[in-house]
Structure 1
């Protein structure tokens, strides 16, 4: 007999399991902070509203933005997603990731757009269609594929890698 799944943690509670924590923060998170660097290595960080499916994070940006030109020059990025609002108990919950990012190639555009559109509709926002993310539109779809995922140890700035099949 298969045991019944554990109920999800109540809002504001801190799960004991790193994988549960990571999944909860990623599922509840609205914005990720994208840390990128240009061709010379000059860093830049920016928040972007995102949608997720598995280890793939999808967002929409203008091609000329600093973070978009950075990921075109260097695909290696760092990402952090914080629980919001951050609790005042001194134990912020966050997920840190190493990933490879870039503009979504044409072959993956419809699949990634569907991921983004589902999240948008779930949030009560307008639907996303191809005409919003291809020329002559200014916006494009971008994505990052997570290669490594981390959470912080409680009460310390020490990262623990999460073996997580998102």
Structure 2
């Protein structure tokens, strides 16, 4: 029944440009923010942010994050979504992060070295994904569900 469900993971990562990043501060207060992202693969995502932004400060306190990737223009009843659990922080390879992001940015809008710290105001971040889930819409004929649900998926061997 779950055969072929993994294929949604790379497709949704490739088709969508923004994800919702959910973080929490050291007191556990949640925060969610949209970020433009690029995927190196299904297990590593990149974005850039100001280190002073609320979500970046939260990452410094608590590196565990949740992320949702979806098309906000999908008609009601036609949504697809990818839910991810990850550990996030500054990119260990900012050059790779910027290269991945620049591949998705429009010509003339690419990031340059001076955009990133220490000379610039941005830091490249990465998320290492631990768990992948896909949305199963309510009434999906393959599943016995009336309401929307999430299904954990793993890479085929």
TM-score calculated relative to the size of structure 1: 0.81
What CA distance in whole angstroms lies between the structure 2 residues aligned with 1:18 and 1:113?
30
Write out aligned runs for 1:75-94 (5 A): 75-88=63-76, 90-94=77-81
- Does 2:122 match 1:139? yes
- Tell me the equivalent position of 1:5: none
Give the deviation of 1:135 after TM superposition.
1.6
What CA distance in whole angstroms lies between the structure 2 residues aligned with 1:57 and 1:151?
17
Structure 1 unaligned spans of 5+: 1-15
TM-score calculated relative to the size of structure 2: 0.85
1:64 counterpart SS class = coil
- Does 2:55 match 1:67? yes
Cα 1:160–1:74, aligned 2, differ >3 Å: closer, same or farther? same
Give the deviation of 1:134 after TM superposition.
1.8
- Does 2:87 match 1:100? yes
> Could you tell me whether the CA contact under 8 Å between 2:47 and 2:97 is conserved in 1?
no
- Tell me the equivalent position of 2:142: none
Structure 2 unaligned spans of 5+: 139-146
1:40 counterpart SS class = coil
Cα 1:44–1:27, aligned 2, differ >3 Å: closer, same or farther? same
Q: Where does structure 1 differ by over 6 angstroms across 4 or more consecutive aligned residues? A: none
> Could you tell me whether the CA contact under 8 Å between 1:95 and 1:150 is conserved in 2?
yes
Higher helix share: 1
Give the deviation of 1:25 after TM superposition.
1.3
- Does 2:19 match 1:32? yes
Give the deviation of 1:163 after TM superposition.
0.8
How many matched pairs?
Answer: 145
- Tell me the equivalent position of 1:4: none
